[in-house]
Structure 1
Amino acid sequence: MAVITCIQDLKDLHKKRTPKMFYDYCESGSWTEQTFRENTTDFEQLRLRQRVAVDMEGRSTKSTMIGQEVAMPVALAPVGSTGMQCADGEIKAARAAEKFGVPFTLSTMSICSIEDVAEATSNPFWFQLYVMRDEEFTSGLIARAKAANCSAMVLTLDLQILGQRHKDLKNGLTAPPKLTPKTLMDLSHRWSWGMGMLGTKRRTFGNIVGHAKGVDDIGTLSSWADGQFDPRMDWDQVKRLKDEWGGKLILKGILDVDDALKALEVGADAIVVSNHGGRQLDGALSSIRSLPAIIDAVGDKIEVHLDSGIRSGQDVLKAMAMGAKGTYIGRAYIHGLGAMGEEGVTKALEVIHKEMDITMALCGHKDIEKVGRDILLVPKGFAGEWE
């Protein structure tokens, strides 16, 4: 049994145990992958200030995100096709998050449906919405999320048009995978993954098949899905969707101060500073570089969260010190899921928590909610000076 001490350990196992097309789907960005890389390397530029002779007993990582109590300020981000990383992946991740005491966010493009996850869990989870051209389908998703008692809707704003990810095109990514000679050769080395998939009925997009008009199987799904992401979405539509939802609304995909101010105008409960994990606009600033200006502009008026690039508890701590009120992990927990199923998601959360807790103590704090920029050494010009 491998000894797991960090997210990299889980990543290594994930690569061994999951088919290449799904590992690559997780571990890739768009175009040159510049933004994908800088999401993580920019965190490395922030240094920590060690403090000593400070009472470190009685530490707490408890916080709140949109009024919900959390064991640490970390939510599981929405990740499409999670149920292809491991059989029933969304259910397993949601259960691990529930037991740990952090929010789980279910993607519109999940393999397990809203109803599947609701049936398998006890606590409300969050639902992430992509706006589709099929308005009836979009309204149906919102109604289904309400019926499942989802406690927040995460509206993704940065995927009106799909960014190109070279690996997905070269791998012929589909869910389930097409059984080509190349795919069969890859699957022959992943027996555990294959047996898990044979043991579940959930192998395609459960929120779409059987719910979108005319989409009854994998064959009709492909023709329906082409061009469904709605490029016409604007702030007026965001406001209408907020009113239709009627509950807590988190807007994900904010990188610009002007957009943060627009989110404030429409009455969002929180925004997520995110570049979709470097999977959309390649060449955009990393999330952690974008955070300071947005905090300065709206941080005292709306809850600001951060997503993209977090691979450790130290990254979580740095984001909180820079002003975020919550963070999201995507790849970090997917590596755990692909490596070890539900146990792996739990292990990823334990790793993140331990790293954050110990680092916080060594920086002279024992309450995550009181951590500020005093624990950081921030390079001059970190946010960038641009003409």
Structure 2
Amino acid sequence: MVKRQIPKVRDLAPLMRFKKPTLNPKTRRLQSALTVEDLRRIAKRRTPKAAFDYTEGAAEAELSLRRARQAFRDIEFHPAILRDVSSVDTGWDVLGRRVELPFGIAPTGFTRMMQTEGEIAGASAAAAAGIPFALSTMGTSAIEDVAAAGGPDGRNWFQLYMWKDRERSMALVDRAAKAGFDTLLVTVDVPVAGARLRDKRNGFSIPPALTLGTVVNALPRPAWWINFLTTEPLAFASLSKWSGTVGELLDTMFDPTVTYDDLAWIKAQWPGKVVVKGVQTLDDARRLADLGVDAITLSNHGGRQLDRAPIPFHLLPHVAREVGKDLEVHLDTGIMTGADIVASVALGARFTMIGRAYLYGLMAGGRAGVDRTILILKDEIARTMKLLGVSTLEELNPSHVTQLVRLAPRALPAGTAEAVAAARPKRPASEQKETARPEVTPSVG
């Protein structure tokens, strides 16, 4: 028989502790977010559909993005035991300077549409965390304002799309160099815009088109609505004006004739480090190593360009083995957790970048939301490292991770690939020559 008694208050008191209420609603909702996915759900509730879909969406059927995220889920970690992991160092050198975490904030366009603090929130949060912030050519805050937001400790990178107007492109590069940006992030996977169908269906344009549906969708989100109407009108910092969809802008502005010669020319103009973003094949990685760039970013543009594009995380170990001694290998697309970042470092990435994860935090709570994103990822990185039995990033290696097979190439019958290649008609040598880009000589720095 179990002896029972009536509980006394003095016995129960040590077993119960009432949580102190948090009165600030923003603080309360951000504290409730334990993962980036939690921030995403908060962001979706607080942001009108057109703006949220611009962040969330990808090209066509959105297979590239789903596959990239699934690739991170399809891993198996291999922890070592009985290691001293009482403290871990989550930082190391990237492009010659220390970062406190092996990730930074990726360049994102139209950012102040997501939340009015926009790039200023991202740059200031990144500086406080000791990580780089990348400003997009399509950013909605001026280059000089982003530099000021980061302060003396900020480390800013400028992301460049090459426009058909070369002088205008290089004028932006010149401004970035003068503002103290230390790295040029040249994006090479946008010869034309991908088919971002959500934006077309939502009528997402520059400036935003306020239809009855837009207004009705925004009404239950008063904070976003008030911020949108009472702050500086939205515009791209690098454009005077545009009327049309984002995709139409990309097709009008960006140059499908850019070649390796153009990239070499850009590299010669820039006084700092050069990173090429949008690499999706081993052959291109090798060629960029020969060109002498400082780093490459394996990326399919967050799935926003070519649907069914290669999965960067799957490409990573092959590229790292082949060119990792010649340049730094960076990675983006699909990262949602600190474990994703740890797995990337283990397979050869020196650095990773977050885009949507940062924007979810921004939409959930402005600068405080970005801080929350960074803190969540930082805690996940440190915890995953400890559970793997490593105390520094240098200790991570491919033996810690297995990429499980879900999508695998279908093997062709023996000799088929060679036969197909041999049967293809060869172009005359005169047609294979690349056309050199005319010289343009604005000074930089």
> TM-score of the superposition, structure 2-length normalised?
0.82
1:109 equivalent among 123, 134, 138: 138
Match of 1:85 in 2: 114
Superposition deviation, residue 118 in structure 1: 1.8
Superposition deviation, residue 31 in structure 1: 1.2
Q: Deviations over 1:20-63 (max 9, x none)?
A: 11111111111111111011001111111233222111211011
Superposition deviation, residue 386 in structure 1: 5.7
Q: Deviations over 1:117-153 (max 9, x none)?
A: 1232212411000110011211111111111110101
User: How far, CA to CA, are the matches of 1:383 and 1:68 in structure 2?
Assistant: 38
Match of 1:288 in 2: 313
Match of 2:338 in 1: 313
Q: Deviations over 1:98-133 (max 9, x none)?
A: 101110000000111212212322124110001100
User: How far, CA to CA, are the matches of 1:385 and 1:361 in structure 2?
Assistant: 38
Match of 1:10 in 2: 39
Report if the CA contact (8 A) 1:88-1:202 is conserved. Answer: no
Report if the CA contact (8 A) 1:71-1:101 is conserved. Answer: yes
User: How far, CA to CA, are the matches of 1:380 and 1:330 in structure 2?
Assistant: 26
1:169 equivalent among 169, 192, 200: 200
1:158 pairs with 2:189: yes
Structure-2 change in CA distance of 1:24 and 1:224 (3 Å): closer
Aligned ranges 1:174-193 → 2 under 5 Å: 174-193=205-224
1:243 equivalent among 249, 268, 271: 268
1:207 pairs with 2:215: no
1:60 pairs with 2:84: no
User: How far, CA to CA, are the matches of 2:309 and 2:405 in structure 1?
Assistant: 20
Question: In structure 2, what residue type is equivalent to 1:164?
Answer: A
Report if the CA contact (8 A) 1:77-1:328 is conserved. Answer: yes
Question: Could you tell which deviates more after superposition, 65-74 or 118-127?
Answer: 118-127
1:145 pairs with 2:170: no
Structure-2 change in CA distance of 1:259 and 1:234 (3 Å): same
Superposition deviation, residue 284 in structure 1: 1.4
1:330 pairs with 2:361: no
User: Greater CA radius of gyration, 1 or 2?
Assistant: 2
Report if the CA contact (8 A) 2:74-2:405 is conserved. Answer: no
Unaligned 5+ segments in structure 2 are 1-27, 413-445
Superposition deviation, residue 220 in structure 1: 9.8
Secondary structure of the residue aligned to 2:276 is strand
Q: Deviations over 1:296-339 (max 9, x none)?
A: 22111110001001000000000001111110011111000011
Question: Could you tell which deviates more after superposition, 373-382 or 158-167?
Answer: 373-382
Greater RCO (Cα-Cα under 8 Å, separation 6 or more):
1
Q: Deviations over 1:240-284 (max 9, x none)?
A: 011111321000000101110121122110000000011111111
Q: Deviations over 1:195-233 (max 9, x none)?
A: 222332151101222xxxxxxx45599997651110000
Question: In structure 1, what residue type is equivalent to 2:50?
Answer: M
Report if the CA contact (8 A) 2:138-2:238 is conserved. Answer: yes
Report if the CA contact (8 A) 2:117-2:366 is conserved. Answer: no
User: How far, CA to CA, are the matches of 1:269 and 1:121 in structure 2?
Assistant: 23
User: How far, CA to CA, are the matches of 2:206 and 2:394 in structure 1?
Assistant: 41
Question: Could you tell which deviates more after superposition, 307-316 or 360-369?
Answer: 360-369
Question: In structure 2, what residue type is equivalent to 1:56?
Answer: V
User: How far, CA to CA, are the matches of 2:401 and 2:407 in structure 1?
Assistant: 12
> TM-score of the superposition, structure 1-length normalised?
0.94
Match of 1:214 in 2: none
Superposition deviation, residue 377 in structure 1: 2.8
Secondary structure of the residue aligned to 2:253 is coil
RMSD: 1.9
User: How far, CA to CA, are the matches of 1:331 and 1:140 in structure 2?
Assistant: 28
